[in-house]
Amino acid sequence: MTMLRSNLARAGAALLLALSLAAALSACGFKPRGSNGQYRIPFHTIYLGFAPSSALGVELRRNLRGLEGITVVDSAIGAEAKVDVVSETRGKVILSLNSQGRVREYLLTYVLVFKVRDSKDGELLGPTEISLKRSIAFNENQTLAKESEEVLLYRDMQSDLVQQILRRLTAIAPQ
């Protein structure tokens, strides 16, 4: 009987904690990420100057299309905002070597430079560089696994770039 009461008391305490946490989160204005207005971009139409084969451009386009009130157009003519890609580069350099002189760690880099113009080609956001870096340990006995890990790290950096671009677009004040 005593054991049953202690279990009920623990369950009650856990329920009370969960309810108070939910109340605190709702009171502070917390909203989970989603397509219901997470980013408030001050444009209705936007043109992306990425190459059609650019994975970064495809992911950015998909994220923008998920936002309310944003239309990604296929032509720069008539678009309220135009995102121009100045450069997009990926790199891989040796970060460290082991005692035998073999690669132990690589540094992966992903650098994007872009600018944003308005419909009259006025500059809304000057050339902006976003640079991301990730290190990856290397083992020559696990070459295939490390190549897969490298692909995943680049994909992760690409997602980070998209989120940073979206944040920079929300900060633009149209003229």
114 and 62 belong to one structural domain: yes
What is the separation of C-alpha 161 from the centre of its chain, rounded to a whole number of angstroms? Answer: 5
Percent over 90 (pLDDT), the chain: 53
Secondary structure element (H or E) that encloses residue 115, with its range: strand 103-118
Residue 16 has pLDDT above 70, yes or no: no
Residue 175 lies in a domain: no
8 and 60 belong to one structural domain: no
Say if CB 89 and CB 56 are below 8 A apart.
Answer: no
54 and 38 belong to one structural domain: yes
**How does pLDDT run across 18-75, given as a tens digit for each residue?**
666 666 666 655 555 444 447 788 889 999 999 888 999 999 999 999 988 899 999 9
Q: What is the DSSP letter of 138?
A: -
Q: How many structural domains comprise the chain?
A: 2
**How does pLDDT run across 119-141, given as a tens digit for each residue?**
898 999 999 999 999 999 988 88
Q: Which domain holds residue 121?
A: 31-170
Residue 143 confidence (pLDDT): 80
135 and 152 belong to one structural domain: yes
